[in-house]
Each structure stands twice: as C-alpha cells, then as structure tokens.
Amino acid sequence: MAEGAESFLPEARDVESLREAADGCRGCGLYRDATQTVFGAGKRDARLLVIGEQPGDSEDTRGEPFVGPAGGLLDRALIAAGVDRDDVWLTNAVKHFKFRRAAGGKRRLHQKPERSEVLACRPWLLAEIAAVDPELVVCLGATAAQDLFGPSFRVTRSRGEILVAEEPEGLRVLITVHPSSVLRTPGDYRDAAFDALVSDLSKAAEALGAR
C-alpha cells in the first residue's frame, strides 16, 4: 500500500512551491518508471480548474499536462465551448505516467491508475485546488470524478451536471467524459461524441459567465 504524497507537501502552499516539491514525490510507486512529475499548469488564479486522469506519453516526456493528442482535442473542445483558455488551470488526478511496454516494442501504453495510486496522489490535487481556488472544477472522466465523489460514481449518469463536493467542501464540479474517450470513439460517432463534450463544457462557460 502506497504511503501517499502527504509527507512530501511543502509548508508554502502556492502553486510554484507545490510544483517544486511534487518533483521529488515518492508517495507511490509510479515515480520509478516515469520520466518526471507532471504538475498542473495554467493561470495560477484561474476561475476554472480542469482535472484529467494522469499524464500520457507526451506529457511524461515534456513535463506538462495535456500536450498530447487528448490535450489537442481538449483545446479544440474548450475553444468551441467558449471557455477562455487563458483562464484555466489544467491538471491530473495522478501526477506520474503509468504505462506498460508494448510487447517487444518501445511503445509505452497507458495503464489506468489503481485507486490506491489516485488516493496516494490526492494531497497534491487538494493542495492545488486550494491554491488556485477556482470557482468551478471540471472532472474529465471517471478517474477524476471518482477521486472527488467516490469509487461508485458513474460519469455517464451525471455528465453535464454541476455537483457540489463534500471534500473540498462546497466545491462546484462539472462532470464530463475524458477527451481520450472521444478519440477512441469509432469514426461515424466521433463528431457526436465531440459535440457532447463541447455541450458539457459550454455549461462550465455559462456557469462562469453567470457570476
């Protein structure tokens, strides 16, 4: 069982101090095979904080969240939804890339993080949410949503809704799917899957605009 990130948190809780400390995190086993910690990035006092699952291959190499194919799709969806990219903080539930090697090859294939790894990494996410103090959070997919609402939470039942979390208490959270799920949708249905993601994200834009 992972000991968790708690003991690696710095005293200063601004995002730069957090990012620096997260570089040295050994709170679970995922740091061993990954290249580096991929901490959140964006506007440090963003009104909207977006949570994905974990860095992918490109993110692990570059050290930044959402810079690969899923990130490209997310960018397009945010623009289509009218969300100002300059007012977003992007992060992940888990800060290290979990992967396995394709048979015989060098290719690194994404592996879903275990609940124990998500829980181990949770202190970083909570500290990040506290530091950025957004008006609204968007959870992209089950890993992020279950991190905030528990393991039996189902994205398909609540997507497009804004829920209120118990921890962090009172946090407003919009639920939607992960952009990778749109990329995996078969050709004929992909446009509809993209439009559905945009429609969910538009509710975030509306919620922010209404304030």
List residues near ligand SF4 by CB under 6 A: 5, 22, 25-28, 30-31, 37, 94-96, 117, 120-121, 124
Of 7 and 100, nearer to ligand URA (C-beta) is 100
Per-residue x/- mask for ligand URA, residues 111 to 130, rule CB under 6 A? --------------------
d(CA 146, CA 154): 8
CB of 90 to ligand SF4, least distance (A): 16
DSSP string, 103-145: TTS-PEEE-PPPHHHHHHHHHHHHHHHHHH--SEEEEESHHHH
Q: How far is CA 132 from CA 27, 38, 50, 118, 207, in A?
A: 22, 17, 11, 20, 18
Residues in the chain: 211
Position 30 contacts ligand URA (CB under 6 A): no
Of these partners, ligand SF4, ligand URA, none, which one is at the site of residue 96 (CB under 5 to 8 Å by kind)? Answer: ligand SF4
Catalog residues that contact ligand URA under the rule CB under 6 A: 52-56, 59, 65-66, 68, 70-71, 92, 180
